[in-house]
């Protein structure tokens, strides 16, 4: 039987080259993660914040929980949501899932 043993380079000749190669590999992996995962996620978060900030009175929205309603009033952190003619609920702005139709044309009217 033949056994193959891998040995480290003798005399320290190849040690520096493998360190540079490893650093380049880790750097390239970080760049791939940044451009494929982190950057698009930051872009979506900015778009969501912009959408929530632009939601105003009269806009029809859907919450993250699936509740459909029309915005009846806007405060700093909360929204008064008209669900039916007699029912209004207060929700956090962060609970807005999407704006279905914008009556205010993008302007926030308080």
Q: What is the pLDDT of residues 38-67, one digit of tens each?
A: 999 999 999 999 999 888 999 999 999 999
Cβ contacts of residue 87 below 8 Å, gap of 6+?
A: none
93 φ/ψ sector (left φ>0, alpha ψ -120 to 50, else beta): alpha
40: containing domain: 14-50
Residue 19 lies in a domain: yes
Residues 44 and 65 in one domain: no
| Number of domain units in the chain | 2
What local confidence, expressed as pLDDT, does residue 80 receive? 95
Q: Which element (helix H / strand E) includes 88? A: strand 88-92
Residues 63 and 89 in one domain: yes
Nearest to 74 by CA among 104, 48, 44: 104
Token pair 């308080």 is found at 110
The reply to whether the predicted model has a pTM over 0.75 is no
Q: For the domain that residue 80 is a member of, what is the CATH number?
A: 2.30.30.100
Residue 18 lies in a domain: yes
Residue 65 lies in a domain: yes
Residues 71 and 41 in one domain: no
**What are 64-105's pLDDT values in tens digits?**
999 999 999 999 899 999 999 999 999 999 999 999 987 755
């Amino acid at each position: 039987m033949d056994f193959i043993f891998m040995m480290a380079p003798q005399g320290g000749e190849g040690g520096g080259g493998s360190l540079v190669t490893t650093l380049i590999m880790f750097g390239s992996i970080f760049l791939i993660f940044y451009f494929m995962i982190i950057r698009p996620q930051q872009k979506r978060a900015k778009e969501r914040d912009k959408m929530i900030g632009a939601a105003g009175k009269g806009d029809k929205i859907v919450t993250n929980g699936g509740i459909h309603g029309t915005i009846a009033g806007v405060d700093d952190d909360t929204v008064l949501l008209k669900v039916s003619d007699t029912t209004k609920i207060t929700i956090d702005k962060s609970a807005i899932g999407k704006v279905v139709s914008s009556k205010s044309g993008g302007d926030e009217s308080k």
